[in-house]
Chains A and B, each alone.
Chain A
Amino acid sequence: MSISAPRYAAGPSARTGPASRILAIASREFFRRARAATLLSVALTFFVVVTSVVVTVIFASFLRAPTAGDFESVYESPVWPFLMLIVAASAGAGSLAEDVGDRSISLYLSRPIRLVDYVSAKTIACGSWLVIATVGPGLTAVAVTGALGYASASVLLAALLGFVATGFVAAIFFTGLALALSSLTNRALYSGVAIFGVILVLYIGGSVVAGITGNIYVPYANPIENIRSVAHGAFGVSGGTATDPASSALTLVGSGVVLWVFALWRMRRVEVVSE
Chain B
Amino acid sequence: MPVALIEVNGVSKRFGTVEAVSNLSVELSPGSIGLVGPNGSGKTTLIRLLLGLLSPDSGNLSVLGCDPQRDPLGVRGQVGYMPEHDCLSPDLSGIGFVAHMGRVSGLPKEVAISRAHDVLEFVGLAEERYRKIREYSVGMRQRVKLAQAIVHDPPLCFLDEPTAGLDPSGREEMLELLRALGRLPNHSFVLSTHLLHDADGLCDQVLMLDAGHCIASGPVRELIASHEGESVIRIQGDTDRFLASLLQHGLTPKPMDREIRVELAPGTTRAVFESAAEAGVQVRYLGRSVATIEGLFLARVELPVPEDPT
Measured CB to CB, the residues of A under 8 A from B are 1-10, 12-17, 20-21, 24-25, 28, 32, 102-104, 106-114, 271-272, 275
| B100–A112 CB distance below 8 A | no
| B90–A102 CB distance below 8 A | yes
- Give Cα distance in the complex from A111 to B15, angstroms: 24
Against A, the Cβ 8 Å flags (1 = close, 0 = not) of B47-85 are: 010010110000000000000000011101101010101
| A8–B118 CB distance below 8 A | yes
Against A, the Cβ 8 Å flags (1 = close, 0 = not) of B37-48 are: 000000001001
| A108–B83 CB distance below 8 A | no
B208 CB to closest chain A CB (Å) equals 21
| A16–B51 CB distance below 8 A | no
| A103–B180 CB distance below 8 A | no
- Give Cα distance in the complex from A109 to B101, angstroms: 11
Q: List 18 A-B contacts (CB under 8 A).
A: A4-B180, A5-B122, A5-B183, A6-B118, A6-B180, A8-B115, A9-B118, A24-B104, A24-B109, A28-B100, A107-B83, A107-B148, A110-B53, A111-B76, A111-B104, A112-B73, A112-B106, A113-B73
Chain B residues within an 8 Å CB radius of A104: 87-89
A3-B180, A8-B115, A110-B81 known; A24 vs B103 contact (CB < 8 Å): yes
Chain B residues within an 8 Å CB radius of A21: 103-106
A6-B119, A10-B115, A13-B111 known; A106 vs B104 contact (CB < 8 Å): no
Add 6 more A-B contacts to A16-B103, A106-B81 (CB < 8 A).
Answer: A2-B176, A3-B122, A8-B115, A13-B108, A102-B90, A111-B106
- Give Cα distance in the complex from A113 to B91, angstroms: 22
Asked if B228 is at the interface of the complex by the 8 Å CB criterion, the answer is: no
Contact residues, B189-248 vs A (CB, 8 A): none
- Give Cα distance in the complex from A10 to B109, angstroms: 11
| A10–B122 CB distance below 8 A | no
Residue in chain A with minimal CB distance to B102 = A24
- Give Cα distance in the complex from A271 to B51, angstroms: 13
Chain B residues within an 8 Å CB radius of A6: 118-119, 121-122, 150, 180
| B87–A112 CB distance below 8 A | no
Asked if B307 is at the interface of the complex by the 8 Å CB criterion, the answer is: no
Asked if B5 is at the interface of the complex by the 8 Å CB criterion, the answer is: no
| B101–A16 CB distance below 8 A | no
Asked if B260 is at the interface of the complex by the 8 Å CB criterion, the answer is: no
Chain B residues within an 8 Å CB radius of A17: 106
Chain A residues within an 8 Å CB radius of B173: 1
| A111–B105 CB distance below 8 A | yes
- Give Cα distance in the complex from A241 to B258, angstroms: 78
Chain A residues within an 8 Å CB radius of B257: none
Chain B residues within an 8 Å CB radius of A102: 86-90
Chain A residues within an 8 Å CB radius of B181: 5
| A113–B122 CB distance below 8 A | no
Chain B residues within an 8 Å CB radius of A271: 53
B12 CB to closest chain A CB (Å) equals 15
Asked if B114 is at the interface of the complex by the 8 Å CB criterion, the answer is: yes
A69 CB to closest chain B CB (Å) equals 44
Against A, the Cβ 8 Å flags (1 = close, 0 = not) of B110-125 are: 1100110111011010
**Most chain B beta-carbon contacts within 10 A, residue among A12, A109, A112:** A112
- Give Cα distance in the complex from A107 to B86, angstroms: 10
| A106–B77 CB distance below 8 A | no
A8-B118, A112-B73 known; A103 vs B86 contact (CB < 8 Å): yes
- Give Cα distance in the complex from A2 to B104, angstroms: 31
Chain A residues within an 8 Å CB radius of B76: 110-113
Chain B residues within an 8 Å CB radius of A12: 153
Asked if B107 is at the interface of the complex by the 8 Å CB criterion, the answer is: yes
Residue in chain B with minimal CB distance to A22 = B104
Asked if B177 is at the interface of the complex by the 8 Å CB criterion, the answer is: yes
Closest 7 CB pairs of A and B: A15-B106, A110-B81, A6-B122, A24-B103, A10-B114, A112-B77, A3-B180
Residue in chain B with minimal CB distance to A3 = B180
A226 CB to closest chain B CB (Å) equals 35
Residue in chain A with minimal CB distance to B45 = A275
Chain B residues within an 8 Å CB radius of A32: 89, 91
Chain B residues within an 8 Å CB radius of A28: 100
| A7–B176 CB distance below 8 A | no
Chain B residues within an 8 Å CB radius of A20: 103, 106, 108
